[in-house]
Amino acid sequence: MSAVEINFDGIIGPSHNYAGLSLGNLASASHGGDTSFPRAAALQGLAKMRHNMDLGLAQGILLPLPRPNAAFLSAIGADGTEDARLLAAAWSASSMWTANAATVSPAADTTDGRCHLTVANLVTMPHRSQEWPDTLKQLRVAFGSADHFTVHDPVPPCFGDEGAANHMRMASRHDQSGIEIFVYGTSGGAFPARQHEQASRAVARRHGLEAGRTLFVEQNPAAIAAGAFHNDVVAVANERVLFTHEQAFADPEGTYSAIRAALPEAEIVVVPASAVSLGDAISSYLFNAQLLTLPTGEMALVIPLEAWEHPRVRAWLDEMRATNGPIRRVLPVDVRQSMANGGGPACLRLRVVAEPKSVDTRFLLDSAKAERIETIIAAFWPESISSNDVGSDDLAEKVKTARDELLDSLDLSELC
Any idea which residues carry the catalytic annotation?
A: 162, 230, 347
As a dihedral over the C-alpha atoms of residue 78, residue 82, residue 85, residue 87, rounded to 10 degrees, the angle is 30
State residue 61 phi and psi, 5-degree precision: -135, 150
| Nearest approach, Cβ of residue 27 and ligand SUG (Å) | 8
Rounded-to-integer distance, Cα 102 and Cα 309, Å: 31
H-run or E-run covering 17: none
Nearest to 92 by CA among 135, 137, 131: 131
| Nearest approach, Cβ of residue 14 and ligand SUG (Å) | 14
Instruction: Tell me whether residue 19 or residue 410 sits nearer to ligand SUG (CB atom).
Output: 19
Instruction: Tell me whether residue 91 or residue 376 sits nearer to ligand SUG (CB atom).
Output: 91
Nearest to 32 by CA among 18, 42, 44: 18
Rounded-to-integer distance, Cα 107 and Cα 319, Å: 37
CB-CB contact of 242 with 168 (8 Å)? yes
Beta bridge partners of 349: 9
Instruction: Tell me whether residue 32 or residue 356 sits nearer to ligand SUG (CB atom).
Output: 32
Instruction: Tell me whether residue 25 or residue 358 sits nearer to ligand SUG (CB atom).
Output: 25
| Nearest approach, Cβ of residue 157 and ligand SUG (Å) | 17
| Nearest approach, Cβ of residue 230 and ligand SUG (Å) | 4
Beta bridge partners of 216: 182
CB-CB contact of 338 with 18 (8 Å)? no
Residues at the site binding ligand SUG, with contacts judged by CB under 6 A = 18-22, 25, 28, 92, 94, 97, 99-100, 125, 128, 165, 229-230, 232-233, 341-343, 347
C-alpha distance from residue 96 to each of 35, 128, 380 (Å): 18, 11, 17
Nearest to 195 by CA among 125, 94, 93: 125
Rounded-to-integer distance, Cα 158 and Cα 165, Å: 19
What's the residue count for the chain? 416
Rounded-to-integer distance, Cα 410 and Cα 372, Å: 9
Helix 367-380 to helix 38-54 angle (10° resolution) is 170
| Nearest approach, Cβ of residue 165 and ligand SUG (Å) | 3
DSSP 93-113: -GGG-GGGTEEEE-GGGBTTS
| Runs of H (alpha helix) within 299-392 | 305-308, 311-322, 336-339, 367-380
- What amino acid occupies position 361? T
CB-CB contact of 104 with 135 (8 Å)? no
